[in-house]
Chain A
Amino acid sequence: MDVIKVENATKKFGSNRVLNQVYMSFEKGKITGIVGRNGSGKTVLFKCICGFYCLDSGDIIYDNNKLKNGQILDEAGIIIENPAFLEKYNGLKNLELLYCINNKVDKAYLAGVMKSVGLEPKSRKKVSKYSMGMKQRLAIAQATMENKDILILDEPMNGLDAEGVDYFRRYFQELKENGKTLILASHNKDDISMLCDKVYTMENGEVVSMS
């Protein structure tokens, strides 16, 4: 069953057409990969699905309901481009501030989430002092902490060391086994071949193949 469908999505910036009549579907409980060169339109597509960008034409369908153009898909955990947090707080505080929006804060639970991505919850280190890899781990934690059914992950392995990459490959597999739907963009062919059930290839804003 398709949980998200992109139908005839077109997005232009001025005269530059960055998405051109894109059709995609994302199956429940599966990992769908999107590959393509820089500038092929992957991130723009992700932003359109999340509701950060409005489509010029076409639709995003979630759970058989057409979303309003630009409607934020709050049912999805997201990582888009480089992670960014409130730099003056530590990782746990950042997670708390985000978690408390829709849930009652449970510090022990959030500490567990941080441990599960390889971060030390008791550390008082501010995010401004975090390395790229640590920020990426924190971004994965914020995307997964609310146990959302859909995860939209744009280059989630960016900045991670080899050990981290191996760990998160297993982590994403586990999430899939727990019924989560993952949409993943990556430049790493191994990530895609090892994790994805279906792969779309994009070029110049168009889907050129599906495998």
Chain B
Amino acid sequence: MQASDRFNINSQLEHLQAKYVGTGHADLSRFEWAVNIQRDSYASYIGHHPMLAYFAIAENESIGRERYNFMQKMLLPCGLPPEREDS
């Protein structure tokens, strides 16, 4: 009973992780967490036009350029991932 429950929760979690990008897990590293937050932030900036305009004014760029820059930053938002320790 106990074992199957645990199995259930795990599988539910896996399902959530597959469905919703960014759902965390127990072994999430600091880097992964930060990358995820950054991507969420950039997506939010792109989605909210006033925010995009606000950045565009601060950097004196066009809104279109600002949107493109944020999209580009989605690739490596926090720089390179750290070396894995276990390997």
Partners in one complex: no
